[in-house]
Structure 1
Amino acid sequence: MTGTSLRLVAHGHTAALRRARFGGTDDGLDEGGLRAALAQAHTDPDRRGHLGVHDTCLSSPAAAARQTADTFGLLPTIETALADCDYGGWSGLSLEEVAGAQPQALHDWLSAPDSAPHGGESVTAVRDRVGGWLDEQLGAGRRIIAVTHPLVIRVAVVHALGLPTATYRQLDVEPLAVVRLTSQGTRWQLRLGAPRAG
């Protein structure tokens, strides 16, 4: 059986990400984010040493994810399952603004993955969405690059390893980070270290 290789790539910095805003602004990479993505692309012009050969590239619908893929010379297909969390009424607000206006709601959201006081998706709902997509890729036998959001990558890793959803809070995913998962068709493995070409 041919294995599946999935590289989850976090999009570069945006103004909203730097200001700790809850989604809602479909902005592209900011100047520093674009510079960092270009620097990685120029360090390894065809990205083979870093991302490896791929059969398909997918992207969140967000401008930042599409722009990150474009900067790396990838031609992504939009995959809605890789979209960021829907933050409902908090969309576009900063963590500080929500903490000032709705401290208990923010506490509930941070402490309970099933909570969605903003009226959008809970973290559990994001995990269900992303996890369903991830399960479909198990036996795909393809080499996939998926450019998406830090939260999406965090819940994808938690789902892939069968961990409690609350564990996502213990994972940090930096902009432009790459997480590699592999599968022979029955379960995912997290692979750490430099991937081989191919």
Structure 2
Amino acid sequence: MAARAARVIVVAHGRTAAVRAAAFPSPDDVLELPPAGDVVKGEGRAGPEERCLGTARWLGVAAVADPGLRDCDLGRWRGRAFAEVAAEEPEGVRAWLSDPGAVPHGGESVAGLIARMGEWLGGLPPGRSLAVTHPAVVRAMLVSALRLPDVAYWRVDVPPLGRVELSGFDGRWNLRLPQWGPLMGASRGSEGIFPDFSAISEGDFEG
């Protein structure tokens, strides 16, 4: 019997106070989403931070906290506005934006995050799963899965509630673009994994 491939839908958490303020996220970053409903539509994993677990609840996902989906550790930059850090540490910010191995903030490098997400993908069991995590983690996951150079991390944009699908077997991953949305002419779920995904939009949580 042929081995089954792993397939994972990965969702970035909703908009937060740090996103709105153009700041580096901190562990206590506040999620800006309406109250979650009581209907559970499925199960999955989520980053251990409340902004991931809260997004999962809002989406109707009963999620287990997964430390492997934690956010990139930005060290002493956490919670600070990007403009402020760039003004105080211009060389450090330039290094961080150009060298994936740089750790001017004293935390985790982009290269380290990409490697960590490669290990996480490699540990997925066969079959379907769903994960709610951070935009930075989604970016790193895509770079790892598609075997792109680490510098490609800075060329991937992941908006709040952005979604990607990856399917793979034996370390080889394919990216599958969503097949729903106003330009597609029809809304579509994920074959029972997440049937109401097409209803999500940023307008649902903008204040």
TM-score by length of 1: 0.84
Whole-angstrom distance in 1 between the partners of 2:173 and 2:72:
23
TM-score by length of structure 2 reads 0.81
Is the aligned partner of 1:63 residue 2:15?
no
**1:85-124 equivalence runs, <5 A:** 85-124=72-111
Q: 1:162 aligns with which of 147, 150, 174?
A: 147
Distance change >3 Å, CA 102–CA 136, structure 1 → 2? same
Task: Identify the range of structure 1 (17-26 vs 2-11) with the bigger mean alpha-carbon deviation.
Answer: 17-26
Secondary structure of 2:123's match? helix
Q: CA deviation at 1:17?
A: 1.5
Amino acid at match of 1:9: V
In structure 2, distance between residues paired with 1:156 and 1:67: 21
1:196 Cα shift? Answer: 4.4
Which structure has more helix as a fraction of its residues?
1
Q: Note the residue ranges of structure 2 that are not aligned, 5 or more in a row.
A: 180-188, 193-207
Which residue identity does 2:166 align to in structure 1? L
What do you get for the CA RMSD once the two structures are aligned? 1.9
Among 183, 191, 197, the alignment partner of 1:197 is: 191
Q: 1:25 to 1:136 in 2, by over 3 A?
A: closer
State the SS of the aligned residue for 1:22. Answer: coil
Separation (CA, whole Å) in 2 of partners of 1:28 and 1:63? 8
Identity rate, percent: 39
Amino acid at match of 2:65: I
> Residues 169 and 94 from structure 1, CA distance in 2 versus in 1: closer, same or farther, beyond 3 angstroms?
same
Aligned residues: 180
SS in 2 for 1:7: strand
Q: For the Cα contact (< 8 Å) 1:150–1:175, is it kept in 2?
A: yes
- 1:21 is matched with 23
| Runs of 5+ consecutive residues of structure 1 not aligned to the other structure | 48-53
For residue 120 of structure 1, report the CA deviation from its aligned partner.
0.5
Aligned match of 1:187: 172
Distance apart, 1:2 and its partner CA: 2.0
Q: Given that residues 16 and 22 in structure 1 are in contact (C-alpha distance below 8 angstroms), is that contact kept between their aligned partners in structure 2? A: yes
Equivalent residues of 2:138, 2:158 under 8 A apart: yes
Is the contact made by 1:16 and 1:25 (CA closer than 8 Å) also made in structure 2? no
Q: Name which structure has the greater RCO, CA cutoff 8 Å, separation 6+.
A: 1
Find the residue that maps to 1:75 and give its secondary structure.
strand
